[in-house]
Structure 1
Amino acid sequence: METNHGAGPGQPVVVGVAPGQSPRVVGQAARFARQFGSELICACANPARFATGESADGSMTSASLDPDFADEGEAAFDPQLAADLGGILAGTDVSWRTLAIPGDVAHALGHLANTVDAAMIVVGTRERSLGGSIQELLSSSIAAKLARGQFRPVVVVPVGAKNEGRASGGSVE
């Protein structure tokens, strides 16, 4: 499922988004898209689905990994997340759209970036906590997986910093 909010020239910027994510990640991705004069693609991956078809614009059809518990609503982009993105990006001159993409997050973002010939992929760090650090150590982070498997730039936006609301990444202008 895709929502389109205009179109922009040049190579798009792909940003990985998820419910509850710091708005700083999308804000920084929007700054890059504006500087490049390109479109921002806000992509949310669902590891419980797999691709069954794809278009040149990066949109995909998918099916549930578990057909016994298939919910076709899972294939659509989360309406609340889309509304949150709209609030973050309101008042900007950045053209953006949403995409729900199936599969492992790092693989799906990398595949999307390749499909649309993105200028870069933007992701955020996880919140800092003991549990998060152990989990990240045991299962490599999305950013690390992308960095190992991509030829295009992967930008990692730190979140959870004490100065998160300051000019370095608080608002999109």
Structure 2
Amino acid sequence: MAANDDPVPGVILVGVQKGLPDAVLHEAARLARDLGEDLVCAHVDLERYTVGEKLDGGVTSASIDPDTDTDDDVEGDFDAALAAHIDNVLAGTGVEWTGRELAGDPARALGRLADVVHARYIVVGTREASVRETLREFFQGSVASHLAHRQHRPVLVVPLSPVTDGRALPWE
């Protein structure tokens, strides 16, 4: 391989949230381990918006509700309970991870961070196949769909509740 063909080091970026099924973390960790890449777990706070970005991809954010936030702008700290859960899920995998707290629209926030950390892949989970989630996605769109149409890197969507028995999906 020529020197200019050397692969650019990158990371596997996974979108995480409280209540995220462990399958998404397992798949992201497996991909990171198989490719020899670092794993970055990113949580996007939907109740805040970004007012500044740091060189490492972290953000300074403010609340969308000015009555709930007494601080003007704050640097987002990764949720300790979520971090403990990720540590527990990834224990024994041999995969080290770092966390980033983001704010705003999840697809845009993950896309910006993917650029900063040179992500090779972005990993996200699907939503539950319910009428409520179908309506939400109809009006807001899915994070996976937004990423797939706005990224130059692959987006891995981990199916969480596949319908494999031939039943119709709620939107069919």
Q: State whether TM-score is above 0.5.
A: yes
Larger mean CA deviation between 15-24 and 57-66 belongs to: 57-66
Aligned length: 155
Deviations 1:28-53 (CA, angstroms, capped at 9, x unpaired): 00111111111100000012222233
Match of 2:15 in 1: 16
Map 1:66-85 → 2, pairs under 5 A = 66-70=65-69, 75-85=76-86
TM-score, normalised relative to structure 2: 0.82
Query: Which amino acid in the other structure matches residue 9 of structure 2?
Result: G
* Distance in 1 (alpha carbons) for counterparts of 2:21 and 2:32: 18
* Distance in 2 (alpha carbons) for counterparts of 1:71 and 1:78: 19
* Distance in 1 (alpha carbons) for counterparts of 2:163 and 2:51: 43
Unaligned stretches of 5+ in structure 1?
Answer: 1-8, 164-173
Match of 1:106 in 2: 107
Match of 1:44 in 2: 43
Q: Contact 1:10–1:39 at 8 Å: present in 2 too? A: no
Report the 3-state secondary structure (helix = DSSP H, G, I; strand = E; otherwise coil) of the residue aligned with 2:119: coil
Report the 3-state secondary structure (helix = DSSP H, G, I; strand = E; otherwise coil) of the residue aligned with 1:26: helix
1:117 pairs with 2:118: yes
Report the 3-state secondary structure (helix = DSSP H, G, I; strand = E; otherwise coil) of the residue aligned with 2:133: helix
Deviations 1:131-152 (CA, angstroms, capped at 9, x unpaired): 2222222321000011111111
TM-score, normalised relative to structure 1: 0.81
- Identity over aligned residues, as a percent? 44
With over 3 angstroms needed to count, the CA separation of the structure-2 counterparts of 1:41 and 1:25, relative to structure 1, is same
What RMSD over aligned residues (CA atoms) do the two structures have, in Å? 2.1
* Distance in 1 (alpha carbons) for counterparts of 2:53 and 2:122: 19
Q: 1:81, CA displacement in angstroms?
A: 1.1
Q: Contact 1:63–1:75 at 8 Å: present in 2 too? A: no
Deviations 1:70-95 (CA, angstroms, capped at 9, x unpaired): 16689322211111101111112112
Larger radius of gyration: 2
* Distance in 2 (alpha carbons) for counterparts of 1:11 and 1:45: 21
Report the 3-state secondary structure (helix = DSSP H, G, I; strand = E; otherwise coil) of the residue aligned with 2:147: helix
